Amino acid sequence: MSDSSIAEHADLGDFKTLEQFILETQSEYEHSSGSFSRLLRDMSVAAKIVNRDMRRAGLLDIYGQTGITNVQGEVQKKMDALAHKEFVLALRRGGECCLIGSEEHAEAIPIDASSESDGHYIVLMDPLDGSSNIDVNVSVGTIFSIYRIPDDVPPEEATLDDALQPGTDQVAAGYIVYGSSTMLVYTTGHGVNGFTLDPSIGEFLLSHRNLQTPDRGSICSINSGNYHAFDQGLRDYLNWLQEYDENDPNRPAKTRYIGSFVSDFHRNMLMGGIYMYPSTQGNPDGKLRLMYEANPMAFLIEQAGGKATNGKTRIMELEPESLHQRTPLFIGSPDMVDRAHAFLQGNAPQQRTS
């Protein structure tokens, strides 16, 4: 579709840009400041660069692996390294944060004093979630979480300990999904809003205002190949989801699992569903990282009316112990998460016997 035909379907003047929206709503932030607005702008600039390269992945040499094993024990993809580089570079240039934590780096990354940073923010991120799908052209994403350092800590003295705050202390969180269109979705604790990148003008435009997830849904996202490694309560819940119930239009549930957390989460938040990455016999702590995957998505889903738990406790109330700490995760529509929680705690309804 040409630019002119796009204009026929939508008057782009009706859409606010991300920067306009941030400036208009800045007074809602607890620590209202221009630096916070610029920080979100920096994240959006890096997202545009990653999106540009992603769109040319078959033409540029960014498929495949770097040969380097990251801190997670996973062989790093070329696009992992590129995304990490671009987000770190954008944040360094902006000077609005004093510390960065990334899935692709073993330690927290301080912003050098030479950069003249006066920022009081910490950014934790998964620069490219679902990167194992890149080579087969499946949608992937970026996840980020933003915290403030304590008021009595000078930015140049911020350490990893200052970043290890519970999810309830997040000042903002969001993700970018690189799919059929590129969307940036974020919250500052005042609802969830989504912005779609219009490549013709290079701007993120407000396309999804005040997103809310349905109370219930018919989508179940889980790697069922691990079924026999799940706890009995979870297996019972999955069996219950697949039972036919003439009084419940959401059962049997549809299984939809892309293997890219951002993509699965985005679909389920819009359509209603539950995403589950539980503990297994081989991974008793689960596989998702608390600080830059589970916490930001928990913040988003709660602002959209959903819930997130590790099977025992609300995700955002967990006390972090390390940057790359892992956690089980059950996240999505509130009724579905509550039901899963009940099964996991042994408080499930009686299973049918016929």
| Range scoring the smallest mean pLDDT among 71-75, 174-178, 196-200 | 71-75
Q: Is 103 annotated as a binding residue?
A: yes
Q: Are both 78 and 104 inside the same structural domain?
A: yes
Q: Are both 310 and 178 inside the same structural domain?
A: no
How sure is the predictor about 2, in pLDDT bands with cuts at 50, 70 and 90?
very low
- pLDDT score recorded for residue 33: 64
Q: Is 223 annotated as a binding residue?
A: yes
> Is 196 domain-assigned?
yes
Report the relative pairing of strands 288-289 and 192-198 from DSSP bridges: unpaired
Please give the biggest Cα pair distance in the chain: 71
> Is 353 domain-assigned?
no
Average of per-residue pLDDT values in the chain: 88
- pLDDT score recorded for residue 69: 65
224-240 tens-digit pLDDT: 999 999 999 999 999 99
Residues 134, 179: Cα–Cα separation, whole Å: 11
> Is 4 domain-assigned?
no
Q: What is the CATH number of the domain that holds 251?
A: 3.40.190.80
289-319 tens-digit pLDDT: 999 999 999 999 999 999 999 999 999 999 9
Q: Is the pLDDT of residue 277 over 90?
A: yes
Type of residue found at 197: L
Q: Are both 34 and 138 inside the same structural domain?
A: yes
Its pTM surpasses 0.75 = yes
Point out the domain boundary residue: 143, 176, 208. 208
> Is 269 domain-assigned?
yes
Q: How many CB atoms lie within 10 A of CB 240?
A: 19
Q: Are both 189 and 41 inside the same structural domain?
A: yes
Point out the domain boundary residue: 189, 208, 227. 208
Burial letters for 87-124: b for 16+ Cβ neighbours within 10 Å, e otherwise?
bbebbbebbbbbbbbbbbbeebbbbeeeeebebbbbbb
Q: Is 130 annotated as a binding residue?
A: yes
Give the mean model confidence (pLDDT) for residues 166-195. Answer: 96
Residues 31, 262: Cα–Cα separation, whole Å: 28
**Residue-wise DSSP of 75-139:** EEEHHHHHHHHHHHHHHHHHT-EEEEEETT-SS-EEPPGGGT----EEEEEEEEETGGGGGGT--
Structural domain boundaries enclosing 320: 219-344
- pLDDT score recorded for residue 25: 84
What are the two backbone dihedrals, phi and then psi, of residue 305, each rounded to the nearest 5 degrees? 95, 5
How sure is the predictor about 29, in pLDDT bands with cuts at 50, 70 and 90?
low
11-26 tens-digit pLDDT: 655 789 999 998 888 7
Q: Is the pLDDT of residue 191 over 80?
A: yes
Q: Tokens 């389920």, residue?
A: 268
How sure is the predictor about 6, in pLDDT bands with cuts at 50, 70 and 90?
very low
What are the two backbone dihedrals, phi and then psi, of residue 209, each rounded to the nearest 5 degrees? -90, 135
Q: Are both 262 and 308 inside the same structural domain?
A: yes
Q: Between 119 and 190, where is the model more confident?
A: 190
Q: Are both 103 and 165 inside the same structural domain?
A: yes
Q: Are both 243 and 276 inside the same structural domain?
A: yes
> Is 67 domain-assigned?
yes
Q: Is the pLDDT of residue 152 over 60?
A: yes
- pLDDT score recorded for residue 189: 95
Question: What is the count of structural domains for the chain?
Answer: 2
49-106 tens-digit pLDDT: 999 888 876 666 555 555 566 666 666 678 888 899 999 999 999 989 999 999 999 9
105-137 tens-digit pLDDT: 999 999 864 444 568 899 999 999 987 777 788
For residue 342, the number of C-alpha atoms closer than 13 Å in the C-beta half-sphere is 12
Q: Is the pLDDT of residue 247 over 60?
A: yes
How sure is the predictor about 10, in pLDDT bands with cuts at 50, 70 and 90?
low
Q: Where are the alpha helices (DSSP H) in the chain?
A: 3-9, 18-25, 34-55, 78-94, 160-163, 232-241, 261-271, 295-303, 334-344
Q: Are both 169 and 287 inside the same structural domain?
A: no
> Is 174 domain-assigned?
yes
Q: Is 287 annotated as a binding residue?
A: yes
323-346 tens-digit pLDDT: 999 999 999 999 999 999 999 998
Q: What is the CATH number of the domain that holds 75?
A: 3.30.540.10
Share of the chain above pLDDT 70, in %: 86
Q: Is 263 annotated as a binding residue?
A: no
Q: Is 128 annotated as a binding residue?
A: yes
Point out the domain boundary residue: 208, 230, 251. 208
Which candidate, 198, 142, 208, places its Cα nearest to that of 175? Answer: 142
